[in-house]
Chains A and B, each alone.
Chain A
């Protein structure tokens, strides 16, 4: 687990260096993500080695947003000042963007014949 974590941190580190050195619009961890995908394609054994640790971290992805989330409370006065306009802008635009994005994806998948039957949701209320 420590060796897997070291590798993951090393990819983040290289991503961080590249992001700054090349002045990329992407943050270091996202560059690290791209590099790791490339590395897994070149060496599939790497994916097998990192998978347990990666799945462990990703299953608690929500946890890592909690400290930043508490920061919303620190900015409460600013948010309150702009109150209802900001709340409606966030809620309205998020609903519209999710709906429009998903419908566009689905429409083009049908149109280009790239619907994937194995990726369709069955019954249930998830």
Chain B
């Protein structure tokens, strides 16, 4: 029989091991999410990330090696974003009717996300480069990274803040909006798309198709608006 260490060193080089691990971690996360009756605190992304982080730590694997395998899953974010066109198209009559409410939700949600994040961070003595990395954290990752670079932030830190915002938003949205008695699926979805981008949108699709469609629109519109207002707010508060 071959030495297990040799098999390990062979597997650790190729993408198969970490691709499989990523899918298995997600399957476990999704199973736990279902077992918890789809409650938002059992977020499948969070569970999978914690499992994989523990596995990387236990095997002494660095993130670059892990990403060699996981990049195939990561790549699918692009086509999945394009696919948001279908629920949007299916909900077009609803979307047309909701133009004014969407505009209000967009400007209020986007403005509050940026200004309140910067004010809280500044109150804790956090300085300019981190503030610039924090400002675009509610937008989808590629847009946020582009904005952060333009206003003097750190792209890698921004990516991490974007992910944390998304996971937190996806967990908090259901209890928060239930407590506020917001029953309109359009408002619920749109607000979480604006504040917590794609991870919020994934959560919205788990709950309701209309919420998912409006969440995707909120995410797309906020990508544009944040690119315009984040530099202004950072200049003003930074």
Given A67-B71, A79-B160, the answer on whether A104 and B199 have CB atoms closer than 8 Å is: no
Q: Give 7 A-B pairs besides A50-B83, A57-B80 with Cβ atoms closer than 8 angstroms.
A: A57-B79, A62-B30, A62-B203, A73-B57, A89-B126, A90-B168, A109-B101
B24 to chain A, nearest CB (A): 11
**Of residues 69 to 101 in B, which have CB atoms within 8 Å of A's CB atoms?**
70-71, 73-74, 76-90, 92, 94, 97-98, 100-101
Report which of B26, B102, B112, B185 forms a contact with A100, defined as CB distance below 8 A: B112
Contacts from B to A (Cβ < 8 Å): 22-23, 25-26, 29-30, 38, 43-46, 48-49, 52-53, 56-57, 62-63, 66-67, 70-71, 73-74, 76-90, 92, 94, 97-98, 100-110, 112-114, 116-118, 120-121, 123-126, 130, 134, 137-138, 140-143, 146, 154, 156-157, 159-161, 163-169, 172-174, 176-178, 180, 182-188, 190-192, 194-196, 198-199, 201-203, 205-208, 210, 212, 216, 218, 220, 223-224, 227-228
Contacts from A to B (Cβ < 8 Å): 5, 8-9, 11-12, 15, 25-30, 32-34, 36-37, 40-41, 47, 50-51, 53-55, 57-75, 78-79, 82, 84-86, 88-109, 112, 114-116, 119-121, 125-126
Q: Is the CB of A65 within 8 A of B227?
A: no
Given A28-B78, A93-B112, A102-B190, the answer on whether A66 and B22 have CB atoms closer than 8 Å is: yes
A-B contact pairs, 17 of them (CB 8 A): A12-B82, A26-B223, A33-B82, A41-B92, A51-B86, A58-B87, A58-B205, A61-B205, A67-B71, A75-B156, A93-B117, A94-B113, A99-B191, A101-B218, A103-B108, A105-B102, A114-B98
Report which of B78, B121, B157 forms a contact with A89, defined as CB distance below 8 A: B121
Q: Is the CB of A30 within 8 A of B223?
A: yes
Q: Is the CB of A112 within 8 A of B116?
A: no
**Of all chain A residues, which has the CB nearest B72?**
A67
Q: Is the CB of B174 within 8 A of A108?
A: no
Given A98-B177, A114-B97, the answer on whether A93 and B82 have CB atoms closer than 8 Å is: no
Q: Which residues on B sit within 8 Å (CB–CB) of A105?
A: 98, 101-102, 104-105, 184, 186-187, 190-191
